[in-house]
Amino acid sequence: MQSYFHDLVKSLKQESASNEFFAASFLAEDSDFCRFNHGMVRQAGHVAQRSLELRLVRNKKQARSQINLTGFLPEDQSRIQSVFEAGRALLEISPEDPYVLFNDNVHSTAKVEKNTLPNHDQIVTSVMDQASSVDFVGIYAGGGVYRGFANSHGQTNWFESFNYNLDWSIYVRDDKATKSGMSGKTWNPNDFKNRMESLKDQLEVLGHPQKNIKPGNFRVYFSPAAMSEFLGIMAWGCFGLRSQKTKASPLLKLVAGQASVSPEVTILENTGAGASPNFDAFGFTRPDVIPLISNGQHAGSLISASTAKEFGVLPNGAQEWESPNSVEMAGGKLNDSQILKDLGTGIYVNNLWYLNYSDRTNCRITGMTRFATFWVENGQIKAPLGVMRFDDSIYRIFGSNLVGLTANREFMLDPTTYEHRSTGSFHLPGALVSDLALTL
């Protein structure tokens, strides 16, 4: 794939005119997919796709156009001609862009990871060995993910990774289910077996009569999967410099030093340990680590090229939407094996969904519990809990009401496959909170 990309770059250079600048972003994947339902394979297939986004710049005007590629170079060379023609037509009618900024310092990079995934059939077989006896519903996606960048200055950047994501639920009845996931760059059937055995223990409790509680304030434990929902919603708008400069960031009080969260909270954009490329669509590279919150205080921002141009600062490789791709949160001191004892009496939350901001100024978030949420008394799980809505502030959840974070953390790849497999990831602990407001 890398040699094919470099052949495309040669065609881009040949097609480019002397009075224009181009920057091209290449996106591709070779992915195996398998859908499961009722513990059986329902759909299996393979997706191979390649696409190219071209940005043309001339006289402070910028135009962007995109094409799908076939992987057959002679055909794709003619498609490159057509995407240049489309870009030039757009340039004729485009206004000047005062915030055009591309990297003029050539910094070429290449990161190629070894493929250690077993054959797709081996993974499906090991899943079926454990899933055939339960109502198992899920999707597996795995294989190669490729990203590339090239520009008129001769800069090329390449990223090649091989990983998988298995996202599944096991249903007991109606909406009573337990949900889990596994992801990474190597597949261990024993890890999956152990995870399934743990979930089967939860299934027994899910078969008990449901407990319903009235709205109020409760002690809560959030699993790493539930924590990923918090960090996922915070990723949109909290950490970008543009949202902070325009006073739109829900974490504006933290940025301004008017509020803080617990000193135990440290959040990073850790590209070096994640699964995303370390370059953007404008030729700027991203440091391995960008601190966002350090010991409860604002520590840094994600800065895209256009934001850097507008506010007179240096970009740090963030994409235009300035959201983190490789979110990491430092662990704490709580022992996973003792978490029910530490929780005492309260709610054990495995999953959350439908999160949104209810008060952006105070970083207040609302959402629903979902999948294997349990009522715990005196350190023992007693019953499945009915679905509840919470509405509370990050300044309370991660701040004044945070009892502690687990020492062990879980690495999770983003399972979304809209248009293509995501390269986003989370590396997060669980969190014990002394007081969470349940409103409905």
pLDDT for the residue numbered 137: 95
Q: Which pLDDT value is given to residue 281? A: 96
Does any domain span residue 211?
no
Q: Would you say 399 and 355 are in contact if contact means Cβ atoms under 8 Å apart?
A: no
Residue at a domain's end among 173, 188, 203: 188
Query: Same structural domain for residues 345 and 239?
Result: yes
Alpha-carbon gap, residue 87 to 75, rounded angstroms: 19
In the prediction, which pLDDT does 174 show? Answer: 76
162 & 223 share domain: no
Q: Which residue has the tokens 């030039």?
A: 88
Does residue 220 belong to any structural domain of this protein? yes
Residues 224 and 184 in one domain: no
154 and 228 in a common domain? no
Parent domain of 338: 216-438
Give the number of domains in the chain. Answer: 2
pLDDT value at residue 201:
82
Give me 148's structure tokens.
């590339």
Q: What's the chain's length in residues?
A: 440
Q: Which of 169, 188, 207 is the last residue of a domain?
A: 188
CA 201 – CA 398 distance, rounded (Å): 30
User: Are residues 396 and 305 part of one domain?
Assistant: yes
- Nearest of 293, 271, 267, 268 to residue 280 by alpha carbon: 271
pTM of the model: 0.95
In this structure, the answer to whether residues 6 and 155 fall within a common structural domain is yes
> Residue 202's pLDDT is what?
86
Per-residue pLDDT for the chain (440 aa), expressed as one digit of tens each? 999 999 999 999 999 999 999 999 999 999 999 999 999 999 999 999 999 999 999 988 999 999 999 999 999 999 999 999 999 999 999 999 999 999 999 999 999 999 999 999 999 999 999 998 899 999 999 999 999 999 999 999 999 999 999 999 999 887 789 999 999 999 999 999 999 998 988 888 998 999 999 999 999 999 999 999 999 999 999 999 999 999 999 999 999 999 999 999 999 999 999 999 999 999 999 999 999 999 999 999 999 999 999 999 999 999 999 999 999 999 999 999 999 999 999 999 999 999 999 999 999 999 999 889 999 999 999 999 999 999 999 999 999 999 999 999 999 999 998 899 999 999 999 999 999 999 99
Identify whether 177 is part of a domain. yes
Does residue 237 share a domain with residue 155?
Answer: no
Q: Is residue 41 part of a domain?
A: yes
State the pLDDT at residue 2: 96
One domain for residues 162 and 224: no
Q: Is residue 86 part of a domain?
A: yes
Whether 122 is in a domain gets the answer yes
Q: Are 177 and 169 in contact (CB under 8 A)?
A: yes
pLDDT of residue 399: 97
Q: Is residue 279 part of a domain?
A: yes
User: CATH code at 69?
Assistant: 3.30.2290.10
Q: What is the 3-state secondary structure (H, E, C) of the chain?
A: CHHHHHHHHHHHHHHCCCCCEEEEEEEEEEEEEEEEECCEEEEEEEEEEEEEEEEEEECCEEEEEEEEECCCHHHHHHHHHHHHHHHHHHHHHCCECCCCCCCCCCCCEEEECCCCCCCHHHHHHHHHHHHCCCEEEEEEEEEEEEEEEEECCCCEEEEEEEEEEEEEEEEEECCEEEEEEEEECCCCHHHHHHHHHHHHHHHHHHCCCCECCCCEEEEEEECHHHHHHHHHHHHCCCCEHHHHHCCCCCCHHHHCCCCCCCCCCCEEEEHHHCCCCCECCCCCECCCEEEEEECCEECCCECCHHHHHHHCCCCCCCCCCCCCCEEEECCCCECHHHHHHHHCCEEEECEEEEEEEEEHHHCEEEEEEECCCEEEECCEEEEEECCCEEEEEHHHHHHHCEEEEEEEEEEEECCCCCCCCCCCEEEEEEEEEEEEEECC
Does residue 157 sit in the same domain as residue 28? yes
Which tens digits make up the pLDDT trace of 65-87? Answer: 999 999 999 999 999 999 999 99
Predicted pLDDT of residue 207: 87
Specify whether 184 is located in the same domain as 227: no
Answer whether residue 77 is part of any domain.
yes
**Where among 141, 173, 188 does a domain terminate?**
188
Say if residue 180 is in the same domain as residue 277.
no
Asked if 339 and 278 sit in the same domain, the reply is yes
For residue 72, give every residue at least 6 positions away whose Cβ sits within 8 Å of its Cβ, in sequence order, or none.
none
